[in-house]
Amino acid sequence: MSSCELVRYFDYPCDISHATTEDGYVIEVIRVPHGLRDNGTAPNAESGTARHPVLFVPVFAGASDLWFINYPSQSAGMYLISFRRRVPCIRISLLLSVCRRWLRRLGDEFEGSGALLEPHDYVQERPRVLEVQVDLVVAYGPVANVSHMGPPLSLGIPFTPLITLDRRTCNTNEARAREAERKRRQWKTYDTNEMRVKNAGRVREYRRRADNTDETRAEEAKRKRL
């Protein structure tokens, strides 16, 4: 049973679309437009307030169905859909197509401190969604302790700090590369404009010399006639 089938099993509406990331990955995006008590046309049938999008991010080594695998009374996703907010997506890639002013992102503690920084960096790095503001970030605690699990997970736990550090280093290097590219283009534009100014000056100088030559030849011809 897929994630959307699981949502529909509890009589909730569910839409599926696909988004392609910048590096070529095709991601399935699941959208639950409204709960069971309304049809999604009214802002909020219970309180009358406008609804804000809620973005669910799957946990480490998990899938999107974990937000809906429990019964509606026990699931954070079903609870928010029915009583609190509208859940437009489960994947962060939908941020490109759902440009709302407010965005509430729910993650989990497995993502670490990066979960608190990623939304701001994501918006800053993509001018197309600069108008999106992250209103709230909720980091859920882990549902289990994986520090005493056996292979293969136990083999990667000692390298978690290195992986996190490498990820942050890659993000820093990417930011530096983008800044260097921006400056290069800026200087290239400046050099191009400066070259145009120099070329215009040279053209004016050539024309002035040509005019002087023509005047000299005319004076010389006039002197010879006399």
The closest of 34, 160, 170, 18 to 96, measured between CA atoms, is: 18
CA 222, CA 205: separation in Å to the nearest integer? Answer: 26
Q: Cβ distance 33 to 41 under 8 Å?
A: no
Question: CA distances (Å), 18 to each of 91, 97, 117, 142, 191, in order?
Answer: 10, 11, 25, 28, 43
The closest of 93, 77, 87 to 28, measured between CA atoms, is: 93
pTM above 0.75, yes or no: no
The 10s digit of each residue's pLDDT in 73-132 is 666 665 555 444 444 344 444 444 443 444 444 444 334 434 444 444 444 444 444 445
pLDDT of the residue at 169: 56
The residue ranking higher by pLDDT, 146 or 158, is 158
Give yes or no for residue 15 having a pLDDT over 80. yes
Question: CA distances (Å), 34 to each of 11, 52, 223, in order?
Answer: 11, 12, 97
What share of the chain in percent tops pLDDT 90?
0
The 10s digit of each residue's pLDDT in 197-211 is 777 777 777 777 777
Residue bearing tokens 């009358």: 48
